[in-house]
Amino acid sequence: MRILFIGDIVGRSGRTIVSSRLPGLIGDWKLDLVVINGENAAGGFGITEAIYQDLLDAGADAITLGNHAWDQKEALVFIERAPRLVRPLNFPAGTPGRGATIVEARNGARVLIVNVMGRIFMEPLDDPFAAVDRELLACPLRTGADAIIVDIHAEATSEKQALAYFLDGRASAIIGTHTHAPTADQRVLPGGSAYMSDVGMTGDYDSVIGMAKEEPVSRFLRRIPAARFEPAGGPATLCALAVETDDATGLARRVAPVRLGGLLAEARAAFWE
């Protein structure tokens, strides 16, 4: 199976490159599944129902969230009628929406999408290790799902790596999001799971993690907010991870970073070219 996971979309710039490039990538690379982290898609803060639908129309099969899940208050309501929108699994019981969902890939495979949030330097949520463990016990790879994608939305690389090794061999891909800077550690772990500490953001990199530079720099200098954070509006880089899995096992065969457009050096999934 050919899977593309696209990192955190930030604002209009990120949405524009996804809508313009993703349909072509699906055709050119014969992608079976596309997952997008969309928690910064609406002006850098949260997601709206209209944007959710636009991303599905562009070719996304599932959209994951993170710590900005509820910044757009309408998300608390529309997530209940958005079966392919996945918020962190380890939010407290009773939180609207779902932390995992099964989608059908273009090749007919059943894929479990899980979103979980870290706790180091972030909100004190429920234990992410226990939460994902329960989910994968209930829907194991091969017998419950043909492939499993886990989005770890976390600040600390150590927490992402520890969770990845804890889950190695039980998921097709374990992918870090949230820090908005792509790491260079993509690989297949010993147990067969694809991994990358952070896939990076899909947005304008002439920025401070996707925000126009002036206000973040001013706050670091003066410690006083002067204006709202606004997404940078220049050309975006689409950052993603390409994963190819073995249909017999559901585990990863090969993995590659993808960076297209904008300021960062281009990287492509050469094994699909």
Kindly list the strands in the beta sheet with 238-245, ordered across the sheet, starting from the edge strand earlier in the chain: 85-86, 62-64, 33-37, 2-6, 238-245, 252-260
Q: Say which DSSP state 141 is in.
A: B
Own/partner pairs, 259-263, CB within 8 angstroms, 24+ separation: 259/182, 259/200, 260/17, 260/21, 261/17, 261/21, 261/235, 261/236, 261/237, 262/17, 262/204, 262/205, 262/234, 262/235, 262/236, 262/237, 262/238, 263/204, 263/205, 263/206, 263/235, 263/237
Residue of 68, 153, 178, 180 with catalytic role? 68
Active site residue 68: yes
Q: Do residues 102 and 111 lie in contact, with contact meaning Cβ atoms separated by under 8 Å?
A: yes
Q: Do residues 167 and 81 lie in contact, with contact meaning Cβ atoms separated by under 8 Å?
A: no
- Collapsing DSSP states into helix, strand and coil, what is residue 162? helix
Placement of tokens 């939305």 in the chain: 153
- Collapsing DSSP states into helix, strand and coil, what is residue 129? helix
Which residues are the active-site residues? Answer: 68
